[in-house]
């Protein structure tokens, strides 16, 4: 799983104040499996990845490649606005840093 996506999912969990145990409870997966996904030891199946995104109120989208710069610009503007309630993690959080 790409590091940025993994970082976004971990940052979303941290932003919500959830431990891996809480995410386990909400997903119904073993906590060890969540840990292995978050450390990159295991690549989740697509349905698991979809649930990892949806439980903290995100979604996965397929975007035509030519529109990726537009979508990235829109999400960056949400981060750069300085809005503490922005649903988007900062770049540091997305790269695996703490919120």
pLDDT digit string, tens, across residues 39-60: 999 999 999 999 999 999 888 8
CA distance 23 to 33: 11
pTM attached to this predicted model: 0.69
Distance between the two ends of the chain, CA-based, in angstroms? 21
Provide the 10 A C-beta neighbour count for residue 24: 17
Q: For the chain, give every domain's residue range.
A: 3-94
CA distance 95 to 97: 6
pLDDT digit string, tens, across residues 16-43: 999 999 999 999 999 999 999 999 999 9
Provide the CATH number for the domain formed by 3-94 in this structure: 1.10.260
Query: Which are the contacts of 43, defined by CB distance < 8 A and separation ≥ 6?
Result: 1, 37
Q: To which residue do tokens 């995100």 refer?
A: 58
Run of H or E including 35: helix 31-38
């Amino acid at each position: 799983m790409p590091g940025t996506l993994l970082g976004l999912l971990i940052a979303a969990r941290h932003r919500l104040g959830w431990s891996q145990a809480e995410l386990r409870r909400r997903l119904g997966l073993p906590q060890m499996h969540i840990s292995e996904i978050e450390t990159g030891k295991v690549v989740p199946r697509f349905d698991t990845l979809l649930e990892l995104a949806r439980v903290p109120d995100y979604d996965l989208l397929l975007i035509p490649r030519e529109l990726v710069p537009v979508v990235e610009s829109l999400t960056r503007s949400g981060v750069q606005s300085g809005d503490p309630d922005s649903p988007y993690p900062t770049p540091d959080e997305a790269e695996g840093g703490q919120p």
